[in-house]
Chains A and B, each alone.
Chain A
Amino acid sequence: MLEVQEVSKTYNPGTVTEQCLFDKFSLSVEDGQFISIVGSNGSGKTSLLNIICGSIPVQSGDVLVGGESISRKKDFQRYITMGRVYQNPALGTCPNLTMLENLSLADNKGKSFGFSRGVNKKRINYYRGELEGLGLGLEDKLNVKMGSLSGGQRQAVALLMATMTPLNFLILDEHTAALDPKTAEVIMQLTNKIIREKRLTAMMVTHNLRYAVEYGDRLLMMDRGQVVLDRVGAEKQSTSIDDLLTLFNKISIECGN
């Protein structure tokens, strides 16, 4: 279980642009839960993910995994049991390394990076199988540099890499936002498949209300650092895009947008 306890986050403290985003914000996530998070820009969705991952510091509060505080752990230490896919497909892979080299790196996560061979030839068939599972014809491109693949292909490989080793959490930060509608759909389906097959706990920030409604078993809507809608299970299943849109518009009007 992941618990965010009374976290307060203020941007630019002590300056004229000081802005309080979270004031004693709390949230708990059950193991195996797949949460989709929606909300307007600046509502705190990505900040929440960054706080969980340790990418940004907080003023107060605690983040617990399985009852243990991870607040003192640096970002890279938290990633031992976390995977993250970013909005920008370029962030999930190394463009100048081949796909094989990229996959080998991901495969070795959690182990030491010593002086043994970087690419384990015995694993190539396993990689091929995983790539075939993506259904994008990438299994023949193992020796191609990542940089020469399309955004959608890179994002698919990034997803594969992020989930290759055992994880407690998968963090998806608008990971379909930079893709064309068709590719986004493919990546979203793949995401769902991987999360269900590996029984991952996942948090997905998205601007696509349909994805938020269709996928996941809990739905959060955030606004100005607060959860304004939280629906789980059957209640979530009965939520429609129209419901979300109505609430979204109401919030926007209140904000004066």
Chain B
Amino acid sequence: MLDLLVSTLIQGLIYALVSFGVYITYSILDFPDLSVDGSFPLGAAVTAVLLTRGCNPYLTLLAAILVGALAGLCTGVIHVKLHVRDLLSGIITMTALFSINLQIAGSNLTVGRSVDTIFTAGPTMALFGGLSLTNRKLVVALIIAVAVKLLLDAFFATKAGLLLRAVGDNAFLVTSLAKDKGNVKLAGLVISNALVALGGALVCHETRSFSATMGTGQVVFGLATVIIGVALFRRFSFVKGTTAVVVGSILYKLCIAVALDLGLPPNMMKLITAVLFLLVLVASGRKGEEIIHA
């Protein structure tokens, strides 16, 4: 039981990176970004290839962030510069990335046991070598999730962060402030997809594998966690959005873990995901969008 809880917590913390990304696009930018389904496995693909080639495991995270940012830039340029609708821009990037991911890492790639990941590499062992592998994963995942959360909170409090929040809230105002709203949106998409790809990289480190289909459903996961988190803490305005989505992510993974533990066949996962998402939307009493903007 405790094992299940710990592994769920690890999952929730690692996947929180996806939630952060979706939180930025969906909740802050008001941009339904589907490129997440492509940038998540992109981060994992790059990480898997680099790890198998003997790259420093910590550097793979940086590489994932960069390629994710590039994916976000693609979606942003398609939307802002080529004037394609937001939803379609994401779909185009997502579709293109599927092939790109196959080119990078094939349909499946396993990272051998002999290869060090961020959970087993020297510096991590020096710090947390006394812990079991599972506990080490928990600590590392916690550190990364909290660090990213704090970084985002700090960013949202800066002038640039304020402008990012303004563009999703009222793009007219950003224009009135003599700023190009398109560039602000672009920046948001870049940050969001960089975080999502980092999430993909962490999953690759954790599972030591990449699969071309691992991106399917990540948008829905992200949306569900954002909506769960925000709905849960709606009455507690002192709880930051970033905290809310981490809790949303953990709760979501807990629901899935419980469902699987109760004997649900893994093939039914996506169906459960969809039903869970619907339940959350209905239970919070309003349509998803309104919850976010309430």
What are the residues of chain B within 8 A of A92 when measuring CB–CB? 172-173, 176
Residue in A75, A105, A110 whose beta carbon sits within 8 Å of that of B163 in the complex = A105
A85: nearest chain-B partner, CB-CB: B176
Contact A74 B180 (CB under 8 A): yes
The yes or no answer to B160 lying at the interface (CB within 8 A) is yes
Contact with B along A77-103 (1 / 0, CB 8 A): 111100110100011111111000100
B178 near A76 with CB under 8 A, answer yes
Interface size on A, residues (CB 8 A): 34
A77, B176: Cα distance in complex, Å: 9
User: Given A76-B178, A76-B179, are A108 and B159 also a contact pair (CB < 8 Å)?
Assistant: yes
User: A76 near B180 (CB under 8 angstroms)?
Assistant: yes
Contact B165 A96 (CB under 8 A): yes
Bound Cα distance A83, B178 (Å): 10
With A113-B163, A115-B160, A117-B159 as known contacts, state yes or no: A94 contacts B175, CB within 8 Å.
no
Q: Is the CB of B162 within 8 A of A116?
A: no
A105 with B160: in contact, given A83-B176, A84-B176 (CB under 8 Å)?
A: no
User: In the complex the two chains form, what is the Cα distance from A146 to B159 in whole Å?
Assistant: 18
Q: Is the CB of B178 within 8 A of A94?
A: no
Q: Quick check: is B217 within 8 A (CB to CB) of the other chain? A: no
Q: How far is the CA of A117 from the CA of B155 in the complex (A)?
A: 9
For residue B185, CB closer than 8 A to chain A, the reply is no
Contact between chains at A91 and B179 (CB < 8 Å): no
Contact A162 B165 (CB under 8 A): no
Residues of B164-181 at the interface with A, using a CB-CB cut-off of 8 Å, are 165-166, 169-170, 172-181
Q: Is the CB of A106 within 8 A of B177?
A: yes
- Say which residue of B161, B181, B293 sits within 8 Å of A118 (CB atoms): B161
Q: What CA separation (Å) do A115 and B157 show in the bound complex?
A: 9
- Residues of chain A with a CB closer than 8 A to B267's CB: none
A94 touching B181, Cβ below 8 Å: no
Which B residues are in CB contact (< 8 Å) with A95? 169-170, 293
Residues on the B chain within 8 Å of A233, using CB:
none
Query: Given the known A-B contacts A76-B179, A101-B162, A117-B157, are A90 and B170 also in contact in the complex, defined by CB atoms under 8 Å?
Result: yes
Q: In the bound complex, what is the Cα–Cα distance between A79 and B155 (angstroms)?
A: 26
Instruction: Tell me the nearest residue of chain B to A96, going by C-beta.
Output: B169
- Cβ of A215 to closest chain B Cβ, rounded Å: 23
Whether A114 lies near B173 (C-beta < 8 A) is no
- B159 x A76 contact (CB < 8 A): no
CB 8 Å contact bits of A150-187 with B (1 = contact, 0 = none): 00000000000010000000000000000000000000
**A109 CA / B163 CA spacing, docked (Å):** 11
Bound CA span A112–B180, Å: 12
Q: Answer yes or no: A206 CB below 8 A from chain B CBs.
A: no
B207 within 8 A of A: no
Closest to A118 in B: B162
A77 touches B160 (CB 8 A): no
| Least distance between B208 CB and chain A CB atoms (Å) | 37
Contact of B175 among A79, A115, A162 (CB under 8 A): A79
Inter-chain CA distance A199–B46, complex, in Å, is 59
Chain A nearest CB from B245 CB (Å) reads 16
Which B70-98 residues have a C-beta within 8 angstroms of A?
A: none
B114: interface (CB < 8 Å): no
Q: Are A115 and B159 in contact (CB under 8 A)?
A: yes
Give the shortest distance, in Å, between B50 (CB) and chain A (any CB).
30
Contact of A94 among B158, B159, B165, B180 (CB under 8 A): B165
CB pair B293–A96 under 8 Å, yes or no, is yes
| B169→A94 contact, CB < 8 A | yes
Contact status A113-B170, CB under 8 Å: no
B175 touches A75 (CB 8 A): yes
Taking a contact as CB atoms closer than 8 A, the residue among B158, B180, B181, B293 that contacts A114 in the complex is B158
B177–A116 touching, CB < 8 Å: no
Further contacts, 4 of them, CB under 8 A, given A97-B169, A113-B160: A76-B180, A93-B170, A101-B165, A104-B162
9 closest A-B pairs by beta carbon, nearest first, are: A118-B162, A94-B169, A80-B178, A113-B159, A79-B178, A113-B163, A115-B158, A91-B172, A76-B175
Interface, chain B (partner A; CB < 8 A): 155, 157-163, 165-166, 169-170, 172-181, 293
Q: List 29 A-B contacts (CB under 8 A).
A: A76-B179, A76-B181, A79-B175, A79-B177, A80-B178, A84-B176, A92-B172, A92-B173, A92-B176, A93-B173, A95-B293, A96-B165, A97-B169, A101-B162, A101-B165, A105-B162, A105-B166, A105-B173, A105-B177, A109-B177, A109-B178, A112-B159, A113-B163, A113-B179, A115-B155, A115-B158, A117-B157, A118-B158, A162-B176
